[in-house]
Chains A and B, each alone.
Chain A
Amino acid sequence: MSSAPVISLDRVTFRFGQFVALADVSLHIGMGQRVALVGSSGAGKSTLIRLMNGTLQPTQGEIRAFGQELSQLKPQRLRQIQRQIGTIYQQLHLVDNLRVIHNVNAGHLGRWSFWKALISLVVPLDLPTATNALTQVGILEKLYERTDRLSGGQQQRVAIARVLVQDPLVILADEPISSLDPQLSRDVMELLCQICEPSNRSLVVSLHNIEFALRYCDRIIALRHGRLLFDAPTGSVSNEMIADLYRL
């Protein structure tokens, strides 16, 4: 199925002070894979995603993205790698008081020069890309709206549109549906699959809800108390394994 892994973790441990958030985790994400990260809150899912996109650095072990070890890279080179990794966050992480167009255009910031970015804040540039992305997520009419006037579901779509504009090889999504109702959750999951499938992007999505994981992903990685519990293709995940995951 996969050639060289896009992202790989080798015996990664991460501690916040004394607290061990992740312990000795090794895994590889292949090109075009759709991977679900599951586990109860505090299992280390968000930490894992932040390690994968280079926001955090492991206490021990190494993380490679596209063959490069992230902690060894100079800032400039790290940013080049990070452009290929798009992240969608649980708490949206949008700049509230900017208009939607600017939050979407923020996907360009890894490539744009300072001056281009500055001019775009006054007269938005590269409209076709932004309108295209917003059309894909279905909220084109919100293009010039202020971001904090949008509903939670709409803001989630803005975050997805930003990643579309960024056009990365990997999309990481941290609990993208945790605050949405079931119908909206299905829409967002389908949208994520749609934008990954044709371009053979890899998708890593952390989910609270195991049903969604089984339904939309082809591989499940389960974390429990910061440790890897299992890592298996969706078809071979049994009810016992799931029961074990949420056992106290």
Chain B
Amino acid sequence: MTKPASRFFIAPSLLWGLVGLAAIALSLWQAGLFRQAVFNLNGFPLLWRFVVASVHPDVSRNLLDITLRASLVTLAYAVCGTFFSVVIGAVAGVFCSEVWWLEVLQANHFRYAGFQIIRALLAFPRAIHELIWGLFFLNIWGLDPLVAVVAIAIPFGAITAKVFSEILDETPRQPLLALINSGVAPLAAFLYTLLPQAFLNLLSYSFYRFECSIRAAAVLGIIGAGGLGYEILLSLQSLRYEQLWTFFYALFFLNGCVDFASAALRTQLGCASRIDLNAHHPPSRNRQNSHRIFGLFPIAIAGVALSFWYIQPDFSKVWSPRSQQLFNQIVQASLPLDFSALPHLMPLSLETVAMSVLAIAIAAIGGLLLAFPATQNFFLLSRVLNRYRGDRLLPHVMLATARIVLLLCRAIPAPIWALVALYVLFPGILPGAVGLGLHNLGILGRLFAEVIENLEQPPLEALKAGGAPDSLVFLYGVLPLTMPRFLAYTLYRWEVCMRETVIVGLVGAGGLGRALTEQLSSFDYPSLGVTLSAFLVLTFLVDWISATVRRSLRASS
């Protein structure tokens, strides 16, 4: 890293910001803006009907019954999916952590290479979106709840494994080494030091995964797995907006409860944020409360058991001869791969990247605008801004509105948003980007708000005490302190957006995702293999860019 020695030194954040703006401009061009009509004015009456229906959802007895059952199905998918992903994550996470290989197994170079290979292999299940897994297993197992559970468990298990291993690696190692050096068996030392130290962070992340699982379960409904996503799609296709909004509100409520419970738990545990991308995972404070958490275990176990009972996934299908036969058929059908479509993949790849860039731009800008009013401490309780809050109603109203909008945005699955956007936008990557953007806006806004809530107050207090007006406290204090984290979250979410382009592809939003879902449902396995490979390459490329930018920002700004 070079020494910033001049007055005209351009910070990397500014430089990357300009690169980002250029990427957005190019993506807009790719989306056809400035070149062709993008708005379909004829669709506005339909959009209006959709909006108006929000104030009178269908509350007939019959539909409420359906809603309740669908909500329980979605919840149960999420619970079972999370259960498996945490189990997979816990086992694989330990085996993928550097500390396990270096300190516990005391690996030599040869074994260390093995560790790196395992870690790299995990990137594959992670890169493929749960929807693709879902469609794949649908072809083998047919419509069974098992499809939804496994489709969540595989990619989420791999992500959880990665995060768990990172948490373990970032937990201070000295206590572990102290025990190993004093002759304690490595495994016992591991169980007595690293695991309890990291436990709260692992638990906190598991709950974050649960929040994600709820959203994934809703999306999987769309491919026919049942639950709220399925009902929403049916109502949307038959233009029954009143019913649609009933399901929306149910999803809204479900997401709200889970987010709220998970946040309350984190406060109990003393974990500041859901996922901390910038820093290490320091051992959580507030230990005295942590033993209470063990009281939750019986409840969690009961919840998992009830969920399995409610959806009754047919596990025998996993090993049944029929499944194996179908699986073999798919493998045989997909070989040899059909590279004839390769030339078409290049423009599709560009579309996909453009869609992800536009989506994250929408999400980041919207999230930024909503995050500040959605923060408890910013306008409301702060000693920093608004010392004289004459009118206390306005901040309350802003807080509630911003939070509701964020929750609504993230509760509704991206493909549903994309379908809504299709009322007024011509088909193409733009409605897909709007759908993904709106959904991720809700998630990003919540993450941003958390950054603001955890903002260090002292530097702001110092600026304020020197007589700086609020606008300048914001410019010289709040902005520089939050921006690096905002950027890190945005980049992380960009990687997610890239993977999620698949799910808006399902509703025809273009790019590789559309090709993938079409090939999957038409059993065109030879082409599918090629498209999937292209998608994987693209995903890894985006991950690499994002990681590079994040590293450069962390090092210098």
A-side residues, CB < 8 A to B, are: 50, 53-55, 74-75, 78-83, 85-87, 89, 91, 93-99, 101-102, 106-107, 109-110, 112, 114, 117-118, 121-124, 127, 144-146, 162, 166
Q: A124-B7, A144-B6 are in contact. Are A95 and B466 (CB under 8 A)?
A: no
Q: A110-B468, A114-B471 are in contact. Are A93 and B5 (CB under 8 A)?
A: no
Using an 8 Å CB-CB cutoff, how does the interface string of B1-23 with A read, 1 for contact, 0 for none? 00111111100001000000000
B462 near A79 with CB under 8 A, answer no
A74 nearest CB neighbor, chain B only: B388
A166 nearest CB neighbor, chain B only: B466
CA of A35 to CA of B475, assembled, Å: 34
A117 near B466 with CB under 8 A, answer no
B472 near A95 with CB under 8 A, answer no
Which applies to chain A's interface (DSSP): helix, strand, loop or mixed?
mixed
B463 near A106 with CB under 8 A, answer yes
Q: Which stretch in B37-45, B238-246, B477-485 binds the other chain? A: B477-485
A55 near B461 with CB under 8 A, answer yes
Q: CB < 8 Å: which of A91, A101, A109, A145 contacts B472? A: A109
A82 near B465 with CB under 8 A, answer yes
Which applies to chain B's interface (DSSP): helix, strand, loop or mixed?
helix
A54 near B7 with CB under 8 A, answer no
Q: CB < 8 Å: which of A93, A96, A99, A145 contacts B462? A: A93
B-side residues, CB < 8 A to A, are: 3-9, 14, 383, 387-388, 458-459, 461-469, 471-473, 475-477, 480-481, 484, 556-557
A145 near B468 with CB under 8 A, answer no
Q: CB < 8 Å: which of A95, A114, A144 contacts B477? A: A95
B383 nearest CB neighbor, chain A only: A55
Q: A55-B383, A121-B476 are in contact. Are A93 and B468 (CB under 8 A)?
A: no
A93 near B461 with CB under 8 A, answer yes
Q: A93-B461, A98-B480 are in contact. Are A112 and B472 (CB under 8 A)?
A: yes
Q: CB < 8 Å: which of A83, A94, A95 contacts B467? A: A83
* Shortest Cβ gap from B6 to chain A (Å): 7
A75 near B388 with CB under 8 A, answer yes
B557 near A97 with CB under 8 A, answer yes
Q: Which chain B positions have C-beta within 8 A of A80?
A: 467
Q: Which chain B positions have C-beta within 8 A of A55?
A: 383, 461, 464-465
Q: Which chain B positions have C-beta within 8 A of A101?
A: 7
Q: A79-B468, A83-B467 are in contact. Are A98 and B7 (CB under 8 A)?
A: no
B466 near A106 with CB under 8 A, answer yes
CA of A117 to CA of B475, assembled, Å: 8
B4 near A145 with CB under 8 A, answer yes
CA of A75 to CA of B458, assembled, Å: 20
Q: Which chain B positions have C-beta within 8 A of A82?
A: 464-467
Known contacts A95-B477, A97-B481; 4 further A-B pairs (Cβ under 8 A): A55-B465, A87-B465, A109-B467, A117-B472
Q: Which chain B positions have C-beta within 8 A of A118?
A: 475
> Can you sample 10 A-B contacts with CB below 8 Å?
A82-B466, A85-B465, A93-B458, A93-B459, A95-B476, A97-B480, A109-B468, A109-B476, A110-B467, A117-B472
Q: Which 4 A-B pairs have the closest CB atoms?
A: A110-B467, A109-B468, A82-B467, A93-B462
CA of A107 to CA of B461, assembled, Å: 13
A88 nearest CB neighbor, chain B only: B462
Q: A87-B462, A93-B459 are in contact. Are A99 and B476 (CB under 8 A)?
A: no
* Shortest Cβ gap from A168 to chain B (Å): 8
* Shortest Cβ gap from A172 to chain B (Å): 9
* Shortest Cβ gap from B17 to chain A (Å): 12
B7 near A110 with CB under 8 A, answer no
* Shortest Cβ gap from A66 to chain B (Å): 13
Q: Which chain A positions have C-beta within 8 A of B462?
A: 87, 89, 93-94
Q: A55-B461, A95-B481 are in contact. Are A106 and B556 (CB under 8 A)?
A: no
Q: A107-B466, A109-B467 are in contact. Are A94 and B459 (CB under 8 A)?
A: yes
Q: Which chain B positions have C-beta within 8 A of A166?
A: 466-467
CA of A54 to CA of B464, assembled, Å: 9
CA of A78 to CA of B387, assembled, Å: 11
* Shortest Cβ gap from A28 to chain B (Å): 21
CA of A197 to CA of B304, assembled, Å: 72
A105 nearest CB neighbor, chain B only: B476
* Shortest Cβ gap from A72 to chain B (Å): 11
Q: A94-B459, A95-B459, A98-B480 are in contact. Are A110 and B466 (CB under 8 A)?
A: yes
* Shortest Cβ gap from A92 to chain B (Å): 8
CA of A79 to CA of B464, assembled, Å: 8
Q: Which chain A positions have C-beta within 8 A of B466?
A: 82-83, 86-87, 106-107, 109-110, 162, 166
Q: Which chain B positions have C-beta within 8 A of A87?
A: 462, 465-466
* Shortest Cβ gap from A115 to chain B (Å): 10
A75 near B472 with CB under 8 A, answer no
Q: Which chain A positions have C-beta within 8 A of B557?
A: 97
A84 nearest CB neighbor, chain B only: B467
Q: Which chain B positions have C-beta within 8 A of A54?
A: 465
CA of A83 to CA of B463, assembled, Å: 10
CA of A55 to CA of B458, assembled, Å: 11
Q: Which chain B positions have C-beta within 8 A of A93?
A: 458-459, 461-462
* Shortest Cβ gap from B471 to chain A (Å): 5
CA of A109 to CA of B461, assembled, Å: 13
Q: CB < 8 Å: which of B4, B9, B387, B475 contacts A114? A: B475
Q: Which chain A positions have C-beta within 8 A of B461?
A: 55, 93
CA of A89 to CA of B459, assembled, Å: 10
Q: A109-B476, A117-B472, A121-B476 are in contact. Are A97 and B484 (CB under 8 A)?
A: yes
B467 near A106 with CB under 8 A, answer no
A80 nearest CB neighbor, chain B only: B467
Q: Which chain A positions have C-beta within 8 A of B473?
A: 109
CA of A78 to CA of B481, assembled, Å: 25
Q: Which chain A positions have C-beta within 8 A of B467?
A: 78-83, 109-110, 166
* Shortest Cβ gap from A145 to chain B (Å): 7
Q: A55-B464, A144-B4, A144-B6 are in contact. Are A95 and B458 (CB under 8 A)?
A: no
CA of A224 to CA of B383, assembled, Å: 27
Q: A55-B383, A75-B387 are in contact. Are A146 and B4 (CB under 8 A)?
A: yes
CA of A94 to CA of B476, assembled, Å: 10
* Shortest Cβ gap from A129 to chain B (Å): 14
* Shortest Cβ gap from A48 to chain B (Å): 14
Q: Which chain B positions have C-beta within 8 A of A89?
A: 458, 462
* Shortest Cβ gap from B10 to chain A (Å): 8
Q: Which chain B positions have C-beta within 8 A of A106?
A: 463, 466, 468, 476
Q: Which chain B positions have C-beta within 8 A of A144?
A: 4-7, 9
CA of A54 to CA of B468, assembled, Å: 12
Q: Which chain B positions have C-beta within 8 A of A99?
A: 4, 9
CA of A55 to CA of B467, assembled, Å: 10
Q: Which chain A positions have C-beta within 8 A of B4?
A: 99, 144-146
CA of A78 to CA of B463, assembled, Å: 14
Q: CB < 8 Å: which of A79, A127, A162 contacts B7? A: A127
Q: Which chain A positions have C-beta within 8 A of B469?
A: 79, 109-110
